[in-house]
Structure 1
Amino acid sequence: MSVQHSKAAVPEATWIKSSYSTGNGGECVEVAAVSGAVLVRDSKRPAAARLAFGPEVWDEFVRLAAGR
């Protein structure tokens, strides 16, 4: 069995770092909105795995995280 890892970038994505990121090596996340999804990645390891969420799920997460 052969496994191939895709190194394809998401060229249309504009990654936005969390406003809570201090640059001191803490836990930082970045998000990017692409067609039909919101992507989340570790800002310290941008080439590593990403999570993808549907827009409705992401909106609900943000609403709950904000306590609304």
Structure 2
Amino acid sequence: MTGTGNGAGCPRARRLFIGGEWTEPDHGHYEVVNPATEEVVGLAPEASGAQVHAAAAAAREAFAGWSRTKPE
């Protein structure tokens, strides 16, 4: 893999953040391709359906408190 911004130096870059925790994706990763050059520029995590539902549930649960947070 070539290019920059591939997350190679950041172990969390290829994981999912669900409910306040970094999680390994159930379905591995897929390549992110620059459409102008067709160069692979990184990898993105591929969540399972269960992980998508867990992320949505965590977001719903956090929304009430988060929406009352002042910008500062």
- Decide: shared fold, TM above 0.5: no
TM-score for the superposition, normalised by structure 1:
0.28
Greater helix share, structure number = 2
RCO comparison, higher one (Cα < 8 Å, 6+): 2
